[in-house]
Amino acid sequence: MKRVVVTGLGAMTPLGNTVDSFWQDILAGKSGVGPITKFDTEKFKTHFAAEVKDFNPEEFLEKKEARKFDTFTQYAILSSDQAIKDSGLDFTAMNDEQLADVGVIWATGNGGISTFEQQLEEFHKGDGTARFSPFFIPKMIVDIAAGAISIRHKLRGPNYCTVSACASSNTAIISAFDTIRLGKANVMIAGGSEAAITKSSVGGFNASQALSKRNDDPQGASRPFDKTRDGFVMGEGAGALVLEDLEHALNRGAHIYAEIVGGGMAADAYHLTGTPPDGIGAALGMTKALKDAGISADKIDYINAHATSTGLGDLSELNAIKTVFDGLPVVIGATKSMTGHLLGAAGAVESLISILAIRDGIIPPTINTKNLDENIPKGLNIVLGEPVKKEINYVLNNTFGFGGHVASTIFKKYTD
């Protein structure tokens, strides 16, 4: 099968609207969390989230065009534009046959939930007449970001959306990886976006007891593995990757960030929202990713853990890591402590972190964790407080979603 490399990156996050600014803040251990500004939170249990800052869609889209898209699609367009520019690909110079070998697989967990919420509010405030925007459906449906990216760049290759809750964008990346290595495309734009900081999302997650309610300390609220953790912090944004057939990349002299070598997907088959204490599904996903990459567990240098800062979820993942990597010196980090949980976009944004960690030989810190939960399995190496310099050849990136979805990817330092 063909080898697949990463040649472009794009980011739209609570810590920066470019890859460079995002990465600098990650290494500095900054938090992107603050008070919610999108709606009045007085009647809600949680008053904070990790919002994207200083975002104006009209800086990169015409006003009339921007109004056609929900925010999650705007994030997708901007981050994918960045990744395409970074890759050096010029789609305007390609003919129809070449464009047929370039595709898009884009993920989201919630799609245009803010559009859905807004349209229903306007309907119920009206006189009962069914007045809806003609853009209501195309702004709301989850596949529209993938379609918008392909339309923008005239890309006629495989095009669809993956939805597996918080594992969505890792699933998209694995699917794009498989598409290229099976020879069904030369280039794939893959990633995910989310813009779900809305009344219904915050209210719903509050009702399920999933969100932190540490309103007196928002920036310290996401504290993975800490014995005082009380839930995740919702985030928003997007991450985009350009994946490319190695031969195609070499022929055009592309800069190569890393190689993607394995993807493992599995299921907990346990509970709608909970994870099994032993982490059997997560362990299976990681084991499948290792098998797919053709490497043993001792090759992994760094695990970017899913680690959302929920009581049961964190322990379940660490038990799974203990099962797969017991006795090995792999370093574990939890970057959601800084970004919050970007839901369907989490896997893509954390893939950027994984790739940049390989490039720079540095493992980002886990912030806010002061007192490790005494129930954490012994012998695990969790990086806390400060980044760690380390030669990194392989990174494993974990994501898990409501419904028991598991997706793990493995990135490798590229060597010719």
| Number of Cβ within a 10 Å radius of residue 299 | 17
Catalytic residue, chosen from 166, 187, 258, 290, is 166
Consecutive H or E run containing 411? strand 405-412
Quote the tokens at residue 218: 């928002």
166 in catalytic set: yes
Q: Give CA–CA dist 302/397, Å, rounded.
A: 9
Distance CA 182, CA 192 (A): 22
Of 222, 204, 165, 188, the residue nearest 14 (C-alpha)? 222
23 vs 40: CA distance, rounded Å: 31
Asked if 70 contacts 138 with a C-beta cutoff of 8 angstroms, the reply is no
* Alpha-carbon torsion, ordered 210, 215, 219, 222, to 10 deg: -20
Task: Give the CA-trace dihedral at 133, 139, 142, 145, to 10 degrees.
Answer: 160
Helix (H) or strand (E) holding 401: strand 394-401
At residue 212, what is the residue type? S
Q: Is 289:264 a contact under the CB 8 Å cutoff?
A: yes
Angle at 244 between CA 281 and CA 182, to 5 degrees: 60
Report the distance separating Cα 329 and Cα 384, nearest Å.
Answer: 15
Q: What is the DSSP letter of 365?
A: P
The helix or strand, by DSSP H or E, that contains position 9, with its residue range, turns out to be strand 4-12
**How far does the chain reach from its first CA to its final CA, in angstroms?**
16
**Token pair belonging to 188:** 């794939």
In angstroms, the CA 102 to CA 100 distance is: 6
Residue 166 sits at the vertex; the CA angle it makes with 277 and 134, to the nearest 5 degrees, is: 150
Residues annotated catalytic, as ranges: 166
